[in-house]
Every structure is written in structure tokens, then in C-alpha cells.
Amino acid sequence: MLAAYKILLSLGLVQPVSLLSLPWRDQNSGAFRLAQFLPTQPKTTISLDNAQQLGAFLRARRESLSYQRVGLPRYGRTRTPGLRREEVAQLAQIGVTWYTKLEQGRPIQVSARTLEAIADALQCTPAEKQHLFILAGLYRPKAPADAELTPDMQFMLDQMNPFPAYIVTASYDILGFNESYGRVTNVNLAALAPEDRNCIYLAFVDPNWRRSMPDYEDSLARMVAVLRSAMTGRMDEPHWRKLFARYTSLSPVFTELWERNQVCNVENLIKRFYHPKCGEYRLQQRNWWSAPRDGLRMSIYVPLDDEGRAALNKIAAGIGWD
């Protein structure tokens, strides 16, 4: 990074500054950010639909922050939760009038430098920051390749038994699974139509699937947040439009979760499961991606303790679906 800065300085593209004063590392990821040293950044005019989504996200994020969290003193009472727009503008070192227009969903011009300052002021996670940049038209996600389960992928899943494993797309379509995963969820996935093998769909329509997840409400909220992140910038694609229409028709709960404007990435989590013949047990989820372009993810669950191992052994013995 220092060598890059010296090159830019020699070309006259940046002004000399004290190196000790430069914010070398990103607060969220710890990564170095060359963008901070460039005099200009690409600009774009946000489309009306994206501007409204971006404005709604900014408002939801602003209202979720407390004064203590951002290190600002609080004077008197406020009518709305979270920070005021003036305080976000102050933290981002931008004009409050311009920020107000952005939050109101007006299709105005925005630069990467300014959007990054706003994201930092709102303490956005890497997933939330990417969400903002996609909505602003400053980053376009690559279209995923056609999802297809190949024989070698199914062979790999089968070799994971007795550990439950499945391969899922960014839209939560289950492409492949092993026998153990079907038994853990207590759903005969092989008997379902391919279009119904979808984690979010099953969470709404299948009671056995819901019963297998003691933390059902939290899990569903997280899936919707991951889905929103994946769908950002793709709502003009037929597959995603059709998928979104199906989700919203299933339950008003999906719409309520969607309108929270929360986004997050897939994480390796410890999850609780329940089976009527095994009781409750915990498994550690581990995720791997086949390639960055196609977005296919293999998820494997491994036991953390004796209870988890005993449950998986019973499942492997073929206790059947309840």
C-alpha cells in the first residue's frame, strides 16, 4: 500500500499528507483501502427503484444505531429511534441536505467515496456495504452460471454420510442432498418436486421442516437477510422476480422480514435441531463454495458433542421419517 501511495504521489494524483494520519485499515474487514487516497471516484446516477430501496435501507440502518454505539453525545429527546440525519451527515462529513435526498429515495448522483463514508458512518458490515454499492450501481454482481447438480457432486454428498450435507444455490434452491440431510430435516426431499426443494419455501409450508428447527424464527430471518443480499441488483432477472413473487405469496411474514431491510452473509453457525425420535441436539454448520461465479454452496453439519453424535448415528441407522 505504501508503494502504491508513493507512485500516485509521484504522478501528482494525490496530495502529500502525513502517513500517520491516514486511515489505513477498513474498520469492518481490516483490509487496506486505496480508494481513500484517490482524488476522484466513479460516480453514477441511481435509478428510481434502486434509489428507493437504498433510501429505505439507509433509514432502517440509521434508526438501528444508538448514540453510545457511534460515540456521539445525546442532547434532549428525539421523536424517532436511532440517530438523526444531521448526525449521520456529520459522521460522514457530507451535507445534510444531500444526505436527506439520498435517504428519501431520490435518484441523485453519488460517488463511491461518498457512499463508503456513509457506510462507515452507519457502521455497515461488509455485506451491508456491498448491498449499498450494488443499489447505487457502483458494483454489478456477476450472473451465476446455470445451476446443475453433476454426478461427482452427488457422489461427494453421499460420501459425507452420516454427516448431513446439501448443495444449495444463492436463492436457497436445494440442488442435491444426502440421505442424512433428509432425515435430519425430517422431510422426504426425494419425493418433492425440484421447484419445491427450497429452504425458504419449506420453512413456510412444511411443518416437519419447521419442527426440526427449534430456532425457526431466527433462522428464517437470517435466510431472508441473506436472500436480500443475494438479490440486490438482480431484481430485473426473470428467475429472481419469479422467486420473489412466490415468496411473497406464501406468507405475510416473508414481507415483514423483507421490509426490515436487513442483509448479511452466509456464516458458519452452531444450529439446534430437533427430531421426534432423537430429541434436541446441536450441529456445527460448515460452508464451502464450488466457485465464486456460480454461487453454489455445499453445507455440511458435524456434531459438537456426544448428543449430536448419538443423534446422527440413530439417523444413519435409518429410523425413518416421522
Distance separating alpha carbons of residues 201 and 85, to the nearest angstrom: 38
Same domain flag for 196 and 221: yes
**Pick from 80, 109, 135: which residue ends a domain?**
135
Q: 321 lies in a domain? A: no
Q: If residue 113 lies in a helix (H) or strand (E), which one and from where to where?
A: helix 112-121
Total of domains in the chain: 2
* pLDDT tens readout for residues 238-259: 788 888 999 999 899 999 999 9
**Domain match, 164 and 311 both:** yes
Check residue 1 and give its pLDDT: 44
Nearest 5°: CA angle at 68, between 62 and 69? 55
Q: What is the pLDDT of residue 5?
A: 42
Residue 157 and residue 122 share a domain: no
pLDDT of residue 35: 41
Q: Model confidence over 85-142: pLDDT tens digits?
A: 999 998 999 999 999 999 998 888 888 888 888 988 998 888 788 888 888 888 766 5
- Residues 105 and 192 both lie in one domain: no
Q: What CATH number is attached to the domain comprising 120?
A: 1.10.260.40
pLDDT along the chain (322 residues), means of 10: 46 43 38 37 73 90 83 66 88 91 89 88 86 81 67 94 94 94 93 94 94 94 93 78 90 93 92 91 94 79 94 78 52
Do 117 and 226 share a domain, yes or no?
A: no
275: Cβ–Cβ under 8 A, 6 or more apart, which residues? 183, 184, 186, 212, 281, 311, 315, 322
Our CA dihedral for 103, 108, 112, 118, rounded to 10 degrees, sits at -20
Q: Which range of residues forms the domain containing residue 156?
A: 151-316
Residue 210 falls inside a structural domain? yes
The pLDDT of residue 29 is: 39
The confidence score (pLDDT) of residue 180 equals 93
Please indicate, yes or no, whether residues 79 and 115 belong to a single structural domain of this protein.
yes
Domain co-membership, 161 together with 79: no
- Could you tell me if 107 and 186 lie in one domain? no
Are residue 306 and residue 157 in the same domain, yes or no?
yes
CATH code, domain carrying 172: 3.30.450.180
Residues 214 and 301 in one domain: yes
